[in-house]
Amino acid sequence: MGAPMASLILKAGYPVLVSTRSAESRRRLVEQGARAAASVADCAHGADLVFSSLPDDDALRKVALGPEGALANARRGAIFLETSTVSAEVSAEVGREAERRDVAYLRAPISGNAASAQLGQVTVLVSGPEAAWNAARPVLEAFSQAQVYLGPAEEARYMKLVANAIVINTAQGMAEALALGRKAGLDWDLMLDTLAQSTIASPWLKAKARLLKPRDFTPTMTARLILKDIDLMLAAARANAVPMPLTALTRAAMQDLIATGRGEEDYMATVKLSEERSGLRTDET
Write down the pTM of the prediction.
0.93
- 2-153 is classed in which CATH architecture? 3-Layer(aba) Sandwich (3.40)
Percentage of the chain modeled with pLDDT above 90? 93
pLDDT digits (tens, 9 = 90+) for 104-136: 999 999 998 888 999 999 999 999 999 999 999
Q: Where in the chain is the domain with CATH 1.10.1040.10?
A: 158-277
Among 148, 81, 139, which Cα is nearest to 111's? 148
pLDDT at 251: 98
φ/ψ (deg, to 5) at 142: -70, -25
Among 110, 107, 138, 106, which Cα is nearest to 122's? 110
Residue 271, helix vs strand vs coil: helix
What gap in Å lies between CA 45 and CA 93, rounded to an integer? 21
Q: Is 85 left (phi over 0), alpha (psi -120 to 50) or beta?
A: beta
Q: Where in the chain is the domain with CATH 3.40.50.720?
A: 2-153
Is 43:37 a contact under the CB 8 Å cutoff? yes
Q: How many CB atoms lie within 10 A of CB 197?
A: 10
Give the CATH H-level superfamily of domain 158-277: N-(1-d-carboxylethyl)-l-norvaline Dehydrogenase; domain 2 (1.10.1040.10)
